[in-house]
Amino acid sequence: MAEEKKGRYGLYGGQYIPETLIPAVNEVEEAYEKYKNDPEFQKELHDLLTKYAGRPSLLYYAEKMTKDLGGAKIYLKREDLNHTGSHKINNVLGQVLLAKKMGKTRVIAETGAGQHGVATATAAALMDMECEIFMGKEDTDRQVLNCYRMELLGAKVHPVTSGTMTLKDAVNETMREWASRMDDTLYVLGSVMGPHPFPMIVRDFQKIIGEEIREQLMEAEGKLPDAVIACVGGGSNAMGAFYDFIKDPGVQLIGCEAAGLGVDNPKNAATMANGSVGIFHGMKSYFCQDEYGQIAPVYSISAGLDYPGIGPEHANLSETGRAQYVPITDKEAVEAFEYLSRVEGIIPAIESSHAVAYARKLAPTMDKDKIIVVNISGRGDKDVAAIARYRGVEIFD
Amino acid sequence: MTRIAKAFENQKAFIAFVTGGDPDIETTEALIPEMAKAGADLIEIGIPFSDPIAEGIVIQEADIRALASGTTTDKLFDMVARVRQKTDVALVFMTYMNPVYTYGTERFMKKCAEVGIDGVIIPDVPFEERDEVKGYCEAAGIELVSMIAPTSKERIHMIAKEAKGFLYCVSSLGVTGVRSKITTNIAEMVEQVKQVSDVPCAIGFGISTPEQAYEMTQNADGAIVGSAIVKIVAKYGKDCKKPVCDYIREMKTAVAKHNVNQCQETA
């Protein structure tokens, strides 16, 4: 909550990056401090969010799901209805607008599932920026359509073949690229991670999710939620949904991590359940790693949660007990994906399905006058082929 | 006088990097004393890391080979202890913060001192985060090598004033790796340092030819070569000793030309 020291959340955060990049992050920080309270910047961003991205997103009362589970009332925050189909657009419009103000002409970004890449390519197309996206080779194979989508939007996609060829390697490669070209380029980081000021900037651009939840629920129910549930990879949609409620101790905040084949199986990405404190990707936080600090190859059915770390503010929320983090397996997530599709006619992203899965466990244990808000961070169209494969159904996309 | 200071005493230093455990610990162990004999004044030993964000593809691949052969931080400490029996050359570990932090930063630095390591280079610990390691280094008598880059500009004075051992001057933007041309104004960078500090300046990133090494040490006090050596190790594997040492002799000769020139000038 309160930042004790620049870029720190308790013990966590910091700026652990090579000297070459320090002036670049300082430049971003100065620009952000200048524009964040600039009425003109805020108006431009507000216009983009409302007239282009479709905000505010709906807060939908999932009546059938509520009845079916027989406990707390369930509301779904529909970030899946945003332009480009996920919460990623909130951050990207902010950062690309900032890049424009900084006089940059080129943006680069990492992507896992492709949602952040698609959002960045979209904003770059809209604001006339060159755009290059780094994506693990394994993910370009898993998410072929999103790759083509980025190219349609005018971006160049670089498949990353180093390391485990997933999201962490895409981050490595984007950092390397940024270190070689900073003059005209901004690294548009996709989550509340990396060196300061990124965890702060991304959280600020995402906190609109929680602010809207508060307003919309006050209107619908006249009270605050009892629990807010969101999936966590790096943790941007969760931080966006949580942030406005940190000051309300009655609101339980629950992050759902990807447990892959199970927390006891090596094939998982449950950083809080299995990780330990480390320093990587510019930040001190929790990471899945071995006893010598080698970053572990992680696994999840969800390319967007397939990341061995978590944002530093989440690490602090966990340590202070303000938020809880729970592991959800592939199996539970896939079942939740299918459940929400059938019960509510909403196909959630496989990432968001991790949050839906936990809501299915939690709701029946709560009284009917309690309220749960589940952040549906993205839509599931991109995952249909993967879910079919998981179920052994052969389809050709 | 520390071993690092000795490497720069009355001469331009040639600094050689090798990834520890590439292709295996035995090869590195046999290689280091020979590198010193061939003319390396200071040797950087890379502790391999799964995600070396400041490295180009050559050292990334060396890290993967070293980790695949079972190299760990503990095995490298043991190796250095044995190597120290055979050579008095200055030895510096180069690695990333996570392997150090996870080992326990205090324990890591104490262990460095115990086995005969003289300094550490941690590229993802910039000036702003130096408190993460500085106190532990000082307590153990390990010199924490600072870095400046082409982007540092007005930061150079601040960093140079506190620099210990030697100052690692990054020659180019981007990551480590052989470059055909180095375009940064090295003379200006070094001059900035010398305005506030006597710490020796060594240039690294991109140097591979004797001509480059000679040119870089016109102003700087030393030249650092990594990827070019690691490439030879990659090509020859366990049989890399001779080709690596031949290369080091050639590079050292180029750098040492300045020493001869200096002598002539004084004479």
Residues of B with a Cβ under 8 Å from any A Cβ are 49-51, 53-54, 56-57, 60, 67, 72-74, 96-103, 123-129, 132, 147-153, 155, 159, 170, 173-175
- Distance, in Å, from the CA atom of A273 to the CA atom of B24, rounded to the nearest integer, reads 34
For residue range B158-171, what is the model confidence (pLDDT) as tens digits? 999 999 999 999 99
Select from B125, B147, B175 the Cβ nearest to the Cβ of A176.
Answer: B175
At B164, list the tokens.
């210990």
Which top CATH class is A8-49+88-202? alpha beta
Q: How far is B150 from chain A (nearest CA, A)?
A: 7
Contacts of A295 in chain B (CB under 8 A): 50-51, 98
Specify the residue for token string 């944002």. A311
- Find the mean pLDDT for residues B245-267: 83
At A140, list the tokens.
């370009």
The CATH architecture to which A55-85+208-390 belongs is 3-Layer(aba) Sandwich (3.40)
- Distance, in Å, from the CA atom of A288 to the CA atom of A271, rounded to the nearest integer, reads 5
At A251, list the tokens.
């609101």
For residue range A113-124, what is the model confidence (pLDDT) as tens digits? 899 999 999 999
Q: Which residues contact A102 (CB under 8 A, 6 or more apart)?
A: A27, A28, A31, A186
pLDDT at B263: 58
At A124, list the tokens.
């770059």
Q: How many Cβ pairs closer than 8 A exist between chain A and B? A: 121
Give the ipTM: 0.95
Q: How far is B48 from chain A (nearest CA, A)?
A: 9
The CATH architecture to which B3-266 belongs is Alpha-Beta Barrel (3.20)
- The torsion of the CA quartet A177, A182, A188, A190, rounded to 10 degrees, works out to 40
- Find the mean pLDDT for residues A188-202: 98
Least confident of A140-149, A309-318, B24-33: A140-149
What are the domain boundaries of chain A?
Answer: 8-49+88-202, 55-85+208-390
Least confident of A49-53, A265-269, A363-367, B75-79: A265-269
Burial A240-274 (b: 16+ CB within 10 A, else e): bbbbbbbeeeebbbbbbbbbbeeeeeeebbbbbbb
Question: Is A221 marked active-site?
Answer: no
pLDDT at A396: 66
pLDDT band for position A2 (50/70/90)? Answer: very low
Question: Is A377 marked active-site?
Answer: yes
A8-49+88-202 against A55-85+208-390: fold identical: yes
pLDDT at B267: 46
Select from A172, A277, A292 the Cβ nearest to the Cβ of B53.
Answer: A172
Amino acid sitting at position A187? Y
pLDDT at A145: 87
At A114, list the tokens.
């492709």
- The pTM (predicted TM-score) of the whole model is 0.96
- Distance, in Å, from the CA atom of A248 to the CA atom of A235, rounded to the nearest integer, reads 20
For an interface test with B, the pick among A29, A276, A294 (most B C-beta atoms closer than 10 Å) comes out as A294
For residue range A41-55, what is the model confidence (pLDDT) as tens digits? 999 999 999 999 999
